[in-house]
Structure 1
Amino acid sequence: MTSFHDLHRQNSPLLLPNAWDVASALAFAEAGFPAIGTTSFGVAAASGSPDGGRATKDATLCLARRLQTVPAYTSVDIEDGYSDDPDQVAAYAESLGVDGINIEDSTGEKLIGPALHAAKVSAIKDRVPGLFVNARVDTYWLGEQATVEETLRRASAYVGAGADGIFVPGAADPDTLRHLAEGIGAPVNVLVHPTLTLDELAGLGVRRVSTGSLPYRAAVDAAVRAAAAVRDGGTPPAVSPYPAMQEQLVRFARARR
């Protein structure tokens, strides 16, 4: 059986769709995705909170535990680990019961010192050795110290601490991605980009591509369009039948029991 780690070392990059609740995760699994991530933006927005600020700690834990019976590997976005204490971060990561996590090296929209983030990664790997730790480097995402050199410096520290993968959201220039993939000694993860296909990203050395909050934002836009179509005298869009989605949830509830 192909492991979650193995999915990062295939010919084509692992496309990881990001869910925000059980229903979206089940839909991705039903569509044949072997692994599913979560989006902190979607989880936060669903409860009326902005992304970041450690607002999703309890909701993420609840969702992670519910996703344990979804027929796919799961990787959970835990923002910065919801703490500055590496031991507390490691304990939280262990409590999730998932296959992987994504943990970012910024707090409050500011980069933290790489030594602190490396300490978090090391503590997690010491406590949960089999967990796939995807260490996120937020240089390009925040536009702070956004150079190949600084990104590689941070990535090297995290890989040295035991990170299994490196996520560099915001990096999209092909030459930049090629240099990062060549210089980072672990699978490189990026966000989907409208100008780069999976094949093109594979050619640049990228091994994992995340959809981030794109599906959540697309779902909200689609919901508004559906309601507006009815309001404006149009035809409602074709969607999955209620009985089919209900049966999917019934099966999920049975599996959890």
Structure 2
Amino acid sequence: MTKAELFRSLHHGGKPLVLPNAWDFGSAAMLAEAGFPAIGTTSLGVAATAGLPDGTAATRDETLALARRLGRLSIPVTVDVEGGFSTDPAEVAEFCAELVAMGIAGINLEDSRSNAELADPQAHGALIAAVKARVPELFINARTDTYWLDIDAESTLDRVLHYEKCGADGIFVPGITDPEGIRALTSALTAPLNLLFSPTGPTVAELAELGVRRISTGSLLYRAALGAAVHTAESVTHGHQLVGEIPSYATIQRLLEP
């Protein structure tokens, strides 16, 4: 089974795929070492690491460079490509073909633009169709940001049904936490539904009961890591006891071996 085939199968198991999101090779390798069967990338983490804003199509090169490194992992990797870094279907398809050549199993392709507006669903559907035609083995997780941006939420179902029709293998609706709304989506869709985990929303078990097939951590791990780094630095400064397990230098060095 190829990594792409394995990744697809993980959406149809007995329980939802909990997908942790990495921001560099070290975080991805640590998550793989911990036993997670697949990982994704977080566009916020990738952008912040490069000192660039997220969601503005500014991180094409950084995303490609990280994908090249993550492709060497033994587990499937799905890459957040924001809106595809272009509005031209052929250009987006070629970018995704590069990812496949690097060993990447899937992508997230969102319909928000510049964190401020939603793309025309027909135009976004054309991007999905072009990618699927160019690299049919790639798992396309079509993301709509109606809830994330709080824009035109009533169009959510129409959008995701259209994206599914255009060839999306999965549907991602970050920001929705209402059980009735989630159930309405899982009932209408054939493709597996992916939601963003929210500490104040339904639990993984509750999402599973609602029919959700994939649960992403998004930027949560990256933000938690930043918080832990600052807390550790403050603890050293003020003589406080360090809390939690910290991987050794040797552990990290081992994960970086070819």
TM-score by length of structure 2 reads 0.94
Q: Counterpart in 1 of 2:59?
A: 56
Q: What aligned pairs does 1:183-222 form with structure 2 within 5 A after superposition?
A: 183-194=188-199, 195-222=201-228
- State the aligned residue count: 249
The code of the aligned residue for 1:151 comes to: T
Distance 2:255 2:12 in 1: 31
Q: Counterpart in 2 of 1:13?
A: 16
Q: Counterpart in 2 of 1:140?
A: 147
Distance 1:99 1:228 in 2: 39
SS of 1:129's partner is coil
Q: Counterpart in 2 of 1:38?
A: 41
SS of 2:195's partner is strand
Q: CA deviation at 1:239?
A: 0.6
Work out whether residues 8 and 208 of structure 1, in 8 Å CA contact, stay in contact via their aligned partners in 2. yes
Unpaired segments of 5 or more residues in structure 1?
none
Q: What aligned pairs does 1:93-108 form with structure 2 within 5 A after superposition?
A: 93-97=96-100, 98-108=104-114
1:178 paired with 2:183, answer yes
* Structure 1 residue ranges (4+ consecutive) displaced by more than 3 angstroms after TM superposition: none
Distance 1:234 1:111 in 2: 47
Q: CA deviation at 1:48?
A: 1.1
Unpaired segments of 5 or more residues in structure 2?
none
1:129 paired with 2:129, answer no
1:65 paired with 2:68, answer yes
Work out whether residues 12 and 207 of structure 1, in 8 Å CA contact, stay in contact via their aligned partners in 2. yes
Work out whether residues 87 and 123 of structure 1, in 8 Å CA contact, stay in contact via their aligned partners in 2. yes
The code of the aligned residue for 1:119 comes to: A
1:247 paired with 2:254, answer yes
Work out whether residues 12 and 198 of structure 1, in 8 Å CA contact, stay in contact via their aligned partners in 2. no
The code of the aligned residue for 2:51 comes to: G
The code of the aligned residue for 1:232 comes to: H
Distance 2:239 2:68 in 1: 42
Q: Counterpart in 2 of 1:120?
A: 127
Give the RMSD, CA atoms, in angstroms: 1.0
TM-score by length of structure 1 reads 0.95
Q: CA deviation at 1:236?
A: 2.9
Q: Counterpart in 1 of 2:172?
A: 167
1:84 paired with 2:87, answer yes
The code of the aligned residue for 1:224 comes to: V
Q: Counterpart in 2 of 1:153?
A: 158
Report % sequence identity.
52
Q: CA deviation at 1:168?
A: 0.1
Work out whether residues 11 and 202 of structure 1, in 8 Å CA contact, stay in contact via their aligned partners in 2. no
Work out whether residues 137 and 169 of structure 1, in 8 Å CA contact, stay in contact via their aligned partners in 2. yes
Distance 1:105 1:47 in 2: 23
